[in-house]
Structure 1
Amino acid sequence: MIDWNFLKESFGFTSLRVGQEEILETLLKGKDALGILPTGTGKSFIYQYYGLFTKQKVVVVSPLIALMHDQVHELQLLGEKKAIALTSMLSSREKNWIIHHLQYYQFIFLSPEMLQDQQVMMNLKQQKIGLLVIDEAHCILQWGYDFRPEYLMLGKIKQELQHPLTLALTATATQQMVQEIKDSLGLDEDVYLFSNNSIRENNRIEVIPVDKTDKNQVIVEILQKVSLPVVIYALSIKALEELKFQLQQIFPQLKMDTYHSKRSKEDRQSIQKQFIKNQLDILLATSAFGMGINKKDIHTIIHYHVPANLEDYVQQIGRAGRNGENADVILLYDERDINLMKHRLIEETNPDLLVNILEKDCSLEYFPENQQTLLQLAKHYHYRTEEARAFFEKVFYDKLNRLQVMQQYCQANTCHRYAIEQYFTNKIKKEPENCQQCANCLQKSIFDRKSEIPQSLLPQNDTTKNQDWQEKFHRLFKKM
C-alpha cells in the first residue's frame, strides 16, 4: 500500500496523478506492470518512489543520455546521492570505477547499448535488483522512428538478470504495440496494464490542408497567431534549413535554431539546453528531437511534413502544454508528403530488395540506416531466406498500413481527439458533439485568431526585404 506520510515527507505530495497509484500498488505487491502514460504525467516518479520507499536497487534502461542525467539530478534534489548514469560521456577510468562499484548505487541509469558490454552485465548480475525499468518502451517497435535494435535484446537481458520485477513505460501504445512490448520483454499475458492514451485537454488540434500552397508562407502566417516557444517538426533537413533562413529574414528579433542529425553532438546538446532555458523562441527539428525532453512550457508544435504514423505524431504533440496552459498543435497536410513517403518506403523497405542484399552478404555501411537496421536484425536472428522475407514483409506492410491511417486522420472532417482515442483504445464510443479543443469541432481555424506575438516581433511592412529570400538562400548554399 502507498505510505502517504512517506509520500508527503519525501516528495511533498498529498495525492497522486492518474495511473501512478495503480501502478505503484501493483509493483508493491511484487507484480510486473506496463504503464502507458502521456508525457509529463510523472512516469519517473513511479520508480523514484518505489526505490526510495523499498530501499531496493532500481536499474533504469533509458535511450537518451540527457534524460538519464535529468533523472539523476532529480533524485539528487530529493536527497538521494546514490544515483548514477552509466553513459558513453564518462571517461574510461570513470566508467571502469562505476562498473566495479555498482553495489554502492541504489539507482543505476544506463542505455540498452551499455547492457551489451560484457563487463557491465557481469557486474550487474552480481547485484540484487529490486526493480528493472524499461523507459520509452516503444523503442522496441521495429517500424517506429525511435526504434533501437538493442531494445530487442532486453528480454534476454531480463532473463540473465534472473527475471527481476519489471516496469515498462511509454507515452502511447495501441493494443498491437502492447502485445509486441509484452512479447519482446517476456512479460506475462496477464501483466498489469494501465493505459491512459488521452491527449491533453489544453492542447488544441488542427490539420491545415496546404496542397499547391507555399508551406513556408503558411508557417509565417501561423507564427503570427500562436504563442512562443514553438517547435517545428520536419522530415527533411534541407526543408528545415531553408525554412529557418526565411524565418530569420522575416522575424529577425526571434531567436531560432535547427536540431538534426547533421549537427554535431556538441551542437545538439547546446541547442537543447538553450531551448529548455528559454533562450530560443523557435526550434526547427527532425524527429531526432523530442523523446525525453523535459520542458513544460512548449506552447506550439507545428508539423511541416505529415509524420509517418499516428503513434509518432501523438508522441511528438505530447510535448506541448505540459504546464497545463493552452497550447496549439498544428499539422500541415500535403498529399504529396504521403506519396513521397510511400515511394521511399517501396524504394528502401522493399522485401525483395532486402532479401537480395541479404543473400549477397555484402558490406552494409553504404546502405541507408533503416535498411542497415533491418538487415542486421535478420543476420542477428540467423533468418533463412524465407524467414527473412516474411520479416521484411511484416515491417513493410506495418509501415504502409500506419501511413494510410495517418492519411485518413489528416483527411477526416470529424473530431481529431475522437479519431486518436479510437485508434489507440480500439473501443467503440459515440463521437462527441463538440470536444471544444479541435478545429473540426470548433469550426474555427488558427487564422481566425488575433495575433499572439507582440507587435515589435511581427514582420515589418517593408516586404521587399524578404521577397527574394529563396534567391538569397540558393545563392548562399551554392557557395558552400
Structure 2
Amino acid sequence: METPRQILKSYYGYDNFRPMQEEIINNVLQRKDSLVLMPTGGGKSICFQIPALMLEGTAIVVSPLISLMKDQVDALYANGIPAATVNSGNYGSSNRAILEKCQRGEVKLLYISPERLITELSWMRQCLNVSLFAIDEAHCISQWGHDFRPEYVQLGTMLHEYFPEVPVIALTATADKITKADIVERLRLRNPQIFVASFDRPNLSLDVRRGYSASEKFRTIMGVIGRHPHESGIIYCLARKTTEQLAKKLREKGVSTGVYHAGLSMEERNRVQEEFVKERIDVMVATVAFGMGIDKSNIRFVIHYNLPKNIESYYQEIGRAGRDGLPAETFLFYNIQDIITLRDFAEESGQKEISQDKLRRMQEYAEAQVCRRRILLNYFSEMTGHDCGNCDVCTTPPRHFDGTVLVQKALSAIIRAKEKIGFTLTIDILRGSFSHEITDNGFQMLKTFGVGKDVSFHDWRDYLLQMLQMGFLEIAYNEDRHLKVTELGKEVLYGRKQVKLAIINREDFRVKSRKERHKVEDSQVEKQGGKTEDKVLFERLRELRRKIAEAHNWSAYIVMSDKSLHILAAERPTTLQAFGDIHGIGLHKRDNYGEQFIAVIKEHEDALNVSCKN
C-alpha cells in the first residue's frame, strides 16, 4: 500500500504536506474522530481524501451545496480519483446508479447533502461499506455558527447510532471557541483530536477604508480591477439593489460582470455562478448568499462594499481569494449607515445579544489602528508576536492631529439640537446647509449653525464616526437613531479633555498608465523559482487550459492551477518526466494532458528561436 506522502505526490503532484495535514490523515487512518479548523485554502479536503483512498470502502462527504460538491468531484476525477455526488440535481435513476456503484466498491468518495444522507442512512447501514464520514462546513451544525443549518443537527445522533465504528472528521474554516465546542457536542464526536491550523493567510493583503462615498468606492474598485485585468474577483454588497446598481456601472466601464443574490431565480444563480467559475465572467457582484459553493483557486481580489455582520463571515469570504497561494487583495469599505443597518439586523435576529457582540467585534476590527492580521488571528485564538506588513495599518500607519475644537463644535451642535438629530442633520447644521429639515426645525438659528462650513461633508462624516468609535457619542437606536453625547464626550465639550483625530486618507486606487502597470506586473511575476517567466507563454498555456476545461465541462482551475501555469511558463519542460515534476501535476494529469502542454511549450520555444535568428 502506498503511504500518504506517496499518494500526495502521485495523485496531487505535491512533494510535501502543508502543516498538520499529515497528522490529521494519520488520526483518521487510526479510525479516531477529528475536528479540523483550517482556513479556506489551507488544504482541508486532502485530510479526508487521502484516508479515503487508503481505507477499504466508500468515504461519505457531507456538503451543504450542490455546486461545491460538483466542483470537488470534478477536481477528484481530474486527478484520477473515482468520486461521485448524489443530489437533487441528478435524475432519480442516476442517483440510484451511483449508489449501486458505491455498493460495488467503484467509488472512493461520495459527496452528499445532509438532507439526502439522512434518507439514505438505513440503506447505507445494510448495503455499503463506509470507510469514514467527513462533515464539511461543520460550523453549519452549530447554533452559534454564522451559517446555522438545522438539517445538520440530526447527523450526530444518527451517524453514531448507525455506524458506531466509523470515524468522523468534521472540518470548518471558521469557528470561534463557543462554535468549536458546539460542533463537538452536536456531532457527538468521541474523544476527538482537535486540530487547529494557523489561520494566517500572508498572501492576502488586508485594507479597510472608512467613510468613502459611492463615487470614491467606485474609483477604488476600478483601480483594483485595473491591477487585475481579466482576472477573477468578488465584490460583496449588503443589499440586492446595490449589487444590481454596481454591476451596471461596472458593465458600462467594460468590465465583464455578473450579479448574484437571493432575489434571482435558482436557474439564473446557477448560470451566473457557472459563468464565473468557468472564467467567462471576471467579476461577481453579490450578496453574501454567494460563495459557499465556490472552490475556485485563482480569485485575485475580494472587496466588501459594506461592513460584514461578523468576523467569521468576513474571514470566510476574504478566504476565497488567493487559494492557490499567490498574492491577492482584500478591501473592506464601511461607514456609519452600515453600522446602523447591521445593528437593526442584530436587533431583529433570534440571537440578539450574540449578534450584537459579534457585530461589535467586526466594528472594532474595521476601526482598529493596529495590525489587522493580528486582530484576526487573535479572534481565532492564535497569537503572533509581530505585525504582518501586509495590511493598510502596517503599510500606512495613521497620523493624527489635535481635533479638540472640531469635536467640540460637533458635540455642541448635538446638545443645542437637544440630542434629537442624526448624523446627516448634524453635518448639515455644522456646514450651514439650508435644507427643508433644517429650516422646518429652526436649526439655522442655532449658535453652531455653519461653524464647520470649512470641512467637507465627507470629512465631517468620517470625524463623527471617529467620535463614535472613541466613545464621545452613542446612537439611540430606540429614538430614531438620534445622537447622544456621552459623559466622556462632555469632558471634551467642556474643555476638560483633549482629542487626537486621525488624518483622513482620501487616496484611491486609480488605474495606472499602461507603462506603469507593466512595470508593476514585471516586478511581481517575473521570477518563478529563480527563472524568468514568459508571460506570452503563460497566456498560451492558459488558453489551452480553458479549452481542456470546456471539453470536460470543468472549471479551468481544475485542469491546472494558476500557480502551476506560472511555473510551467518559467520552467518550460519539454518531456513528460519534467512536466510531471511541476508543482500540482500528478500522474493522471501528466499522462492525460502532458503532451498537449508540452506541444504548446515546444511550439513557443521554436518560434522564439526563429525570431532570435532573424
* Cα distance change of structure 1 residues 4 and 203 upon mapping to structure 2, 3 Å threshold: closer
Aligned: 1:222 with 2:282:
no
Q: Which amino acid aligns with 2:319?
A: G
CA contact (8 A) 2:5 2:17 kept: no
Aligned: 1:198 with 2:199:
yes
Deviations 1:220-270 (A, max 9, x none): 333224424321101210111122222333x1x211010111222222222
Structure 1 residue 439, shift from structure 2 partner: 0.3
Which residue number in structure 2 is paired with residue 470 of structure 1? none
Which residue number in structure 1 is paired with residue 316 of structure 2? 315
Structure 1 residue 203, shift from structure 2 partner: 0.9
Structure 1 residue 216, shift from structure 2 partner: 4.5
Structure 1 residue 43, shift from structure 2 partner: 1.6
Q: Which amino acid aligns with 1:437?
A: N
Aligned: 1:86 with 2:42:
no
Partner SS, residue 199 of structure 1 = coil
Please say which of residues 108-117 and 406-415 is displaced more in the overlay.
108-117
Aligned: 1:18 with 2:16:
no
Deviations 1:389-419 (A, max 9, x none): xxx5xx3222111011111111111110000
Q: Which amino acid aligns with 1:440?
A: V
CA contact (8 A) 2:57 2:108 kept: yes
CA contact (8 A) 2:4 2:22 kept: no
CA contact (8 A) 1:199 1:318 kept: no
Which residue number in structure 2 is paired with residue 169 of structure 1? 171
Which residue number in structure 1 is paired with residue 307 of structure 2? 306
Structure 1 residue 17, shift from structure 2 partner: 1.2
Structure 1 residue 144, shift from structure 2 partner: 4.3
Q: Which amino acid aligns with 2:265?
A: S
**Map 1:50-449 → 2, pairs under 5 A:** 50-81=51-82, 83-99=83-99, 102-104=102-104, 105-117=107-119, 120-126=120-126, 127-163=128-164, 164-188=166-190, 190-210=191-211, 213-225=212-224, 226-227=227-228, 228-249=231-252, 251=253, 253-346=254-347, 348-349=348-349, 392=350, 395-425=351-381, 427=383, 430=385, 432=386, 434-443=387-396, 447=507
Distance (Å, rounded) in 2 between the aligned partners of 1:152 and 1:285? 29
Q: Which amino acid aligns with 2:365?
A: Y
Deviations 1:409-442 (A, max 9, x none): 1111111000001111165x54x2x421000011
Alpha-carbon RMSD across the aligned residues, in angstroms, is 2.4
Structure 1: 5+ residue stretches without partners: 350-391, 458-480
Q: Which amino acid aligns with 2:390?
A: Q
Larger radius of gyration: 2
Please say which of residues 315-324 and 87-96 is displaced more in the overlay.
87-96
* Cα distance change of structure 1 residues 3 and 328 upon mapping to structure 2, 3 Å threshold: closer
Structure 1 residue 208, shift from structure 2 partner: 0.5
The count of residues paired between Structure 1 and Structure 2 equals: 400
What is the TM-score normalised by the length of structure 1? 0.78
Which residue number in structure 1 is paired with residue 31 of structure 2? 30
Structure 1 residue 159, shift from structure 2 partner: 2.1
Identity of aligned residues (%): 34
Q: Which amino acid aligns with 1:181?
A: I
Q: Which amino acid aligns with 2:21?
A: Q
CA contact (8 A) 1:143 1:399 kept: no
Structure 1 residue 30, shift from structure 2 partner: 2.0
Structure with higher RCO (Cα < 8 A, 6+ apart): 1
CA contact (8 A) 2:137 2:173 kept: yes
Distance (Å, rounded) in 2 between the aligned partners of 1:32 and 1:452? 52
Distance (Å, rounded) in 2 between the aligned partners of 1:143 and 1:235? 21
CA contact (8 A) 1:290 1:316 kept: yes
Distance (Å, rounded) in 2 between the aligned partners of 1:106 and 1:230? 33
Partner SS, residue 258 of structure 1 = strand
Structure 2: 5+ residue stretches without partners: 398-504, 518-614
Partner SS, residue 205 of structure 2 = strand
What is the TM-score normalised by the length of structure 2? 0.61
Partner SS, residue 48 of structure 2 = helix
Structure 1 residue 90, shift from structure 2 partner: 1.5
Distance (Å, rounded) in 2 between the aligned partners of 1:34 and 1:260? 32
Distance (Å, rounded) in 2 between the aligned partners of 1:345 and 1:326? 34
Partner SS, residue 125 of structure 1 = helix
CA contact (8 A) 2:72 2:295 kept: no
Distance (Å, rounded) in 2 between the aligned partners of 1:415 and 1:208? 14
Distance (Å, rounded) in 1 between the aligned partners of 2:323 and 2:79? 22
CA contact (8 A) 2:223 2:509 kept: no
Distance (Å, rounded) in 2 between the aligned partners of 1:454 and 1:153? 57
